[in-house]
């Protein structure tokens, strides 16, 4: 059995917990929209055609912001086709995923859904097959007061008040040759710069996200970020990062350590952005929008050209197991560990397509295994992210060399005194004995903590998954954490192999 000692002190912090860390992504891809969030013939559909069972799970998941409408889809999307009377909306061929797009869900519909489930909409514009003018038109349609053509059209379509969308993505993965309208860094930087300048002429207070690299393995990684930010630095607030993880060639040990790659990705993007700031003599800090991340078994996907043209096809509907849930939990830990520079993050996608929520057309909706670490982290990460001191054994990985067996982050809410600790044991074979030492001082007196709850995602069968027939085969279960010692500032727990944990404590002063 391994050992891990973690020392926490609320005086040592990383930064605030950012609600937008718990974002998601809805793309017109596969069954994410149609028979995912939207199915007007479903017995549980609301008056707008959205599934209420899915909406309930979205609220339970704790999603705060949702990126829309893509993704690769946005790079050949005509947003005008998705507004106005549904009977008048044209059916189009989406080139990104070779799908028939009925346009029965569009901008207004998505915003209505987002407001209904209590999430913030995050909008992407098409800088692939379209450009500056169409982006401006969409911004005016969404955010301008009535009195000119585009917002008047919005009002005619039933939305008199502006949608007031604050976060806008300047295209999607424009570095990727798979993207419709793929561009070099120089070409994209020029288009993004001019689009951002025009959008700020309409609303200076927008938050704009420039396209970063599609993944850390792109041949232009680093150079792309530098070139784009050299032109757009003063006009954008965030630069995007995307990453998906899977056990490459069956290497599960490295897969369980995927957060090492995410950590290095974030550090590299931050270093590049800060280099540009230094060269420009600026104190501005560009933030990272990690607006696509998840486990995705890409080796099972044979490419867009292999797809048969269909309407709302079943597409990359990966079924997740316990190992996948543990990896997702560790990626969330990494995002929190970088809360000083990661401003928002979107797990891709929300429903059916590599998603925490699965549905059957006309039938049920259920939680995949990866639902649980996301929901519990979103529910209990509050206040400030702490910087723990961790001493633990290591595990060997082919991709990353020796890595810590245990990864940890914690949050402290100074208003309530609540402490939430999120832990992963990423060894496949060895348990770890966790000793958590909480060193804090309130008014000069040591602070005692009472255990509220210890939940873990673990199963002796790491291949266990949830299905419509067995929706709770894998669900959070109690762990064995206990507060020990006379001063109640030490906690112990056993962390089984391949497990994710949420340990909650509440504060009380020792007399």
On whether the CB atoms of residues 143 and 137 are closer than 8 A, the answer is: no
DSSP bridge partners of 435: 5, 492
Query: What is the torsional sign of CA 297, 299, 305, 308?
Result: negative
User: Among the options 173, 225, 260, 507, which is catalytic?
Assistant: 173
> How buried is residue 226: exposed, middle or buried, by Cβ count under 10 Å (0-12/13-18/19+)?
middle
Output the 3-class SS for 195-228.
Answer: HHHHHHHHCCCCEEEECCCCCCCCCCCCHHHHHH
Q: Provide the terminal-to-terminal Cα distance of the chain, rounded to the nearest Å.
A: 36
292 carries an active-site annotation: yes
> Taking the CA of residue 267 as centre, how many other CA atoms within 13 Å lie in the half-sphere pointing to its CB?
8
Query: What is the torsional sign of CA 174, 175, 176, 182?
Result: positive
173 carries an active-site annotation: yes
The closest alpha carbon to 403, from 255, 247, 257, belongs to: 257
**Strands (DSSP E) found in 413-444:** 419-425, 432-438, 441-442
User: Among the options 101, 260, 292, 507, which is catalytic?
Assistant: 292
How far is it, in rounded angstroms, from Cα 483 to Cα 309?
A: 58
φ, ψ for residue 223, nearest 5 deg: -65, -40
- In the DSSP assignment, the letter for residue 34 is B
- Give the orientation angle of helix 107-117 with respect to helix 52-61, to 10 degrees: 60
Residue 429's CB is within 10 A of a number of other CB atoms, namely: 9
The closest alpha carbon to 142, from 95, 82, 194, 62, belongs to: 82
Catalogue the active-site residues: 173, 292
């Amino acid at each position: 059995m391994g050992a891990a000692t973690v020392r926490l002190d609320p005086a040592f912090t990383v930064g605030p917990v950012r609600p937008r860390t718990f974002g998601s992504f809805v793309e017109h891809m596969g069954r994410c929209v149609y028979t995912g969030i939207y199915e007007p013939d479903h017995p549980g559909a609301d008056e707008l055609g959205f599934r209420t069972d899915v909406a309930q799970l979205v609220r339970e998941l704790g999603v705060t912001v949702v990126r829309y409408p893509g993704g690769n889809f946005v790079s050949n999307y005509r947003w005008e086709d998705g507004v106005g009377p549904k009977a008048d909306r044209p059916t189009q061929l989406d080139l990104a995923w070779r799908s028939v797009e009925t346009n029965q869900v569009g901008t207004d519909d998505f915003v209505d859904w987002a407001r209904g489930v209590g999430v913030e909409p995050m909008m992407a514009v098409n800088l692939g097959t379209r450009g500056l003018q169409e982006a401006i038109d969409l911004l005016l349609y969404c955010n301008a007061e009535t009195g000119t053509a585009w917002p008047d059209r919005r009002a005619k379509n039933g939305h008199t008040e502006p949608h007031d969308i604050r976060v806008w993505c300047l295209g999607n993965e424009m570095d990727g040759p798979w993207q419709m309208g793929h561009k070099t860094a120089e070409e994209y930087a020029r288009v993004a710069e001019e689009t951002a300048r025009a959008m700020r002429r309409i609303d200076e207070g927008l938050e704009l996200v420039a396209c970063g690299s599609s993944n850390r393995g792109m041949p232009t990684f680093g150079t792309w970020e530098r070139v784009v930010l050299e032109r757009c630095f003063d006009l954008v607030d965030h630069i995007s990062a995307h990453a998906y993880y899977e056990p490459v060639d069956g290497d599960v040990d490295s897969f369980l350590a995927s957060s090492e790659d995410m950590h290095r990705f974030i550090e590299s993007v931050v270093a590049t952005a800060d280099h540009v700031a230094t060269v420009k003599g600026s104190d501005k800090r560009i933030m990272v929008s990690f607006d696509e991340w998840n486990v995705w078994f890409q080796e099972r996907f044979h490419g867009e050209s292999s797809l048969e043209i269909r309407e709302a096809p079943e597409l990359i509907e990966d079924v997740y197991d316990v190992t996948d849930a543990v990896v997702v939990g560790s990626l969330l830990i990494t995002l929190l560990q970088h809360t000083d520079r990661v401003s928002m993050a979107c797990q891709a996608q929300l429903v059916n397509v590599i998603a925490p929520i699965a549905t059957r057309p006309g039938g049920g909706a259920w939680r995949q295994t990866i639902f649980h670490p996301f929901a519990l982290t979103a529910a209990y990460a509050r206040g400030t992210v702490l910087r723990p001191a961790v001493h633990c054994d290591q595990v060997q990985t082919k991709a990353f060399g020796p890595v810590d067996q245990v990864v940890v982050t914690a949050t402290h809410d100074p208003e309530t005194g609540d402490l939430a600790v999120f832990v992963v044991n990423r060894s496949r074979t060895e348990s770890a004995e966790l000793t958590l030492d909480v060193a804090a001082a309130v008014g000069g007196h040591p602070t005692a903590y009472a255990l509220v709850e210890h939940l873990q995602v673990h199963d002796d069968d790491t291949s266990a998954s949830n299905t419509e027939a067995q929706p709770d085969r894998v669900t959070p279960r109690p762990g064995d954490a206990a507060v020990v010692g006379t001063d109640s500032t030490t906690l112990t727990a056993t962390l089984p192999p391949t497990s994710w944990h949420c340990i909650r404590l509440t504060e009380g002063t020792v007399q």
